[in-house]
Amino acid sequence: MRDHLERVGRFTPERSRAVFRGHFDEPGLRLILLGGERVGCVGFRREDDAIKIDSFYLDRRLHNSGLGTTILTALLGEADVAQLPVRLEVLTGSKAGRFYERHGFLKFREDEIEGFYERPASS
């Protein structure tokens, strides 16, 4: 993520450590294991009126392998059972925005740092 944060002028080691500690210490963080090896993680947290996805990281060698889609599909299935929308933020200009749009997320706001997305609750 450092290269993306540097691109938008938001990288500082202190800020990054604080953000990651906050996300990785919270309930809802799930490890992604493949063959017993940790290859990523995703935060999937239930809020009062929505589910929030954050910290969705997958080892670069597994990008475009279909694993991210498989994981996201399972998470969205959980959200559908709960009948809650799913919200997330993506760094502006990141390829991740297109990934989420392909899975039904709509961008409802964007600033110079992040795009804010929501996938409506299933009916």
Per-residue pLDDT of 11-43, as tens digits, reads: 666 766 666 665 555 678 888 999 999 999 898
Report the alpha-carbon distance of residue 3 to residue 71 in Å, rounded. Answer: 24
Match domain 2-88 to its CATH number in 3.40.630.30, 3.30.420.40, 3.40.50.360, 3.40.190.10: 3.40.630.30
Joined together, the tokens standing for residue 57 give 């990281």
Residue 55: predicted pLDDT: 81
Report the alpha-carbon distance of residue 100 to residue 90 in Å, rounded. Answer: 9
Return the percentage of the chain with pLDDT > 70, whole number: 80
Longest Cα–Cα distance in the chain: 42
Encode pLDDT of 69-90 as tens digits.
999 999 999 999 999 999 999 9
The torsion angles phi and psi of 70, rounded to 5 degrees, stand at -60, -45
57, pLDDT greater than 70: yes
10, pLDDT greater than 80: no
Q: Is 58 helix (H, G, I), strand (E, B) or coil?
A: strand
